[in-house]
A and B are shown apart, each in its own frame.
Chain A
Amino acid sequence: MDINSIYIIKRDTGMCMYHKDFTGTAFDPQLLSSFLVAMTSFFDEATRSVKSQARAFEGSDYTILVEFGEWTLGAISTKGDSANIRKKLKRTIEKFEDQFSVLKWVDLDLAVQTRFEQRVIDEFIREKIAPETLITVKSEWEHYTKRPDVISFLRLIPAICAVKDAAEFLEVPVEIALNLAAEALWEGAIQVANPVKPDDIYQTTALTHEDDALVDLSPEAARALTELDGETPLSIAAERVRTVDMKRFLEEVAFLEQRKMVELVTPSQAVVVRYSSALQTLLTNFGNIIGFNVTRNIFFDAREELVDQYPWLGFVALEEGVDIEMKSSLLSATLKGTIAPDVLDDGLRVLMQFITRRVRDLMGKGPVNRVLAHTKDEIELRFPSTVYQIEWESFQV
Chain B
Amino acid sequence: MKKIDWRNPVLVISVGMVILIASLLLTTTGNDTLLFVIMAFLTPLVALLLGVFGLQIYGRDSGSKDDRFNAFNYWFAIGLIMLSLAEIAGVLVSLSLNPQQMILVIALAQLPGLLLWGIGIIQYLRSLNAALGYVKPNNLLIGLFLATTLSTISLIVVIVTQYPTIGIIESIVLSPIVAGLTLFVIIVFALVWIFRKGSLARPLFLILLALLLYLIRCSLWLFADAGLEAPTDRVIAVEAFILCGTALLMARNLGTIDT
Contact = CB atoms under 8 A, between A and B. Distances in A.
Q: A and B: real partners? A: yes
A321 B66 contact: yes
A365 interface: yes
Contact of A289 (B2, B127, B256): B127
Chain B residues touching A, majority SS: loop
Interface in A179-234: none
Interface residues of A, number: 33
Contacts of A320: 63-64
Contacts of B30: none
A365 B195 CA distance: 9
Interface stretch (B167-175, B196-204, B209-217): B196-204
A291 interface: yes
Interface in A295-351: 295-298, 301, 320-322
Given A288-B131, A291-B67, A371-B131, A360 B198 contact: yes
Nearest to A281: B131
A321 B64 contact: yes
A377 B130 CA distance: 13
Given A289-B128, A291-B69, A297-B255, A362 B64 contact: no
A370 B198 CA distance: 14
A364 B201 contact: yes
Interface in B48-80: 62-64, 66-70
Contacts of B201: 364
A224 to B, nearest CB: 30
B67 A362 contact: no
A322 B66 CA distance: 10
A55 interface: no
Interface of B: 2, 62-64, 66-70, 127-128, 130-133, 194-201, 251, 254-257
Interface of A: 284-298, 301, 320-322, 358, 360-367, 370-371, 373-374, 377
14 contacts: A284-B131, A285-B130, A286-B131, A287-B66, A291-B62, A292-B62, A292-B70, A294-B69, A321-B64, A362-B254, A363-B198, A366-B197, A367-B194, A370-B133
